[in-house]
Amino acid sequence: MRDLAPDLQRRRDEALYRTRRVVQGRAGPEIVVDGERMLAFCSNDYLGLAGDARVADAMVRGVETYGVGSGAAHLVTGHVAAHHALEEELAEFTGRPRAVLFSTGYMANLGVIGALAGRGDSVFADRLNHASLIDGALLSGARFRRYAHADTAALEARMAGAGGERLVATDGVFSMDGDVAPLPDLVKTCRRHGAWLMVDDAHGLGVLGDGGRGSLAHSGLGLDDVPVLVGTLGKAFGTFGAFVAGSEDLVEMVIQRARPYIYTTAPPPSVAAATRVGLRIAAAEQWRREKLAALVRRFRDGARQLALPIMDSQTPIQPVVAESAARAINWSRNLEASGILVTAIRPPTVPDGSARLRVTFSALHEEAHVDRLLDALSALPRGDLA
Ligand X SMILES: *Cc1c(COP(=O)(O)O)cnc(C)c1O
Q: Known catalytic residues? A: 175, 203, 235
Write down the least CB distance from residue 138 to ligand X, Å. 15
Side-by-side strand order, sheet with 340-341: 23-24, 30-33, 36-40, 340-341
Cis upstream peptide for 348 (omega within 30°): yes
Single out the residue of 214, 234, 267, 316 in contact with ligand X (rule: CB under 6 A): 234
Write down the least CB distance from residue 206 to ligand X, Å. 13
- Identify which range of 102-110, 112-120, 261-269, 306-314 contacts ligand X by CB under 6 A: 102-110
Query: 45 or 121: whose CB is closer to ligand X?
Result: 45
Provide the residue type at 181 as one letter: A
Single out the residue of 55, 168, 190, 242 in contact with ligand X (rule: CB under 6 A): 242
Tell me if 332 contacts ligand X by CB under 6 A.
no
d(CA 378, CA 228): 42
Tell me if 134 contacts ligand X by CB under 6 A.
no
Tell me if 126 contacts ligand X by CB under 6 A.
no
H-run or E-run covering 103: none
Say whether 251 sits in a helix, a strand or coil.
helix
Tell me if 46 contacts ligand X by CB under 6 A.
no
Tell me if 202 contacts ligand X by CB under 6 A.
yes
Question: Is residue 352 within 8 Å of residue 358, measured between CB atoms?
Answer: no
d(CA 207, CA 202): 10
Tell me if 239 contacts ligand X by CB under 6 A.
no
Closest residue by Cα to residue 198 from 157, 239, 142, 267 = 142
Write down the least CB distance from residue 106 to ligand X, Å. 4
- Identify which range of 74-82, 198-206, 297-305, 355-363 contacts ligand X by CB under 6 A: 198-206
H-run or E-run covering 7: helix 5-13
Tell me if 130 contacts ligand X by CB under 6 A.
yes
Residue 352 neighbours by CB distance under 10 Å? 11
Query: 232 or 354: whose CB is closer to ligand X?
Result: 232
Query: 48 or 234: whose CB is closer to ligand X?
Result: 234
Residue 161: strand pairing partners: none
Tell me if 203 contacts ligand X by CB under 6 A.
yes
Single out the residue of 121, 126, 171, 179 in contact with ligand X (rule: CB under 6 A): 171
Reported as half-sphere exposure (CB side, CA atoms, 13 A), residue 339 has a value of: 11
d(CA 1, CA 20): 27
Write down the least CB distance from residue 176 to ligand X, Å. 9
Eight-state DSSP code of residue 29: S
Write down the least CB distance from residue 133 to ligand X, Å. 7
Phi, psi of 342 (to 5 degrees): -140, 120
- Identify which range of 91-99, 182-190, 196-204, 273-281 contacts ligand X by CB under 6 A: 196-204
Tell me if 132 contacts ligand X by CB under 6 A.
yes
- Identify which range of 197-205, 315-323, 342-350, 378-386 contacts ligand X by CB under 6 A: 197-205
With CB under 6 A as the rule, give the number of residues binding ligand X.
Answer: 14
Tell me if 104 contacts ligand X by CB under 6 A.
yes
For residue 301, what are the contacts with CB-CB under 8 A and spacing of at least 6? Answer: none
- Identify which range of 101-109, 214-222, 309-317, 331-339 contacts ligand X by CB under 6 A: 101-109
In Å, what is the CA distance from 7 to each residue of 4, 248, 346? 6, 48, 17
Single out the residue of 70, 152, 232, 315 in contact with ligand X (rule: CB under 6 A): 232
Say whether 359 sits in a helix, a strand or coil.
strand
Question: Is residue 39 within 8 Å of residue 369, measured between CB atoms?
Answer: yes
Provide the binding-site residues for ligand X, judged by CB under 6 A: 104-106, 109, 130, 132, 171, 175, 200, 202-203, 232, 234, 242
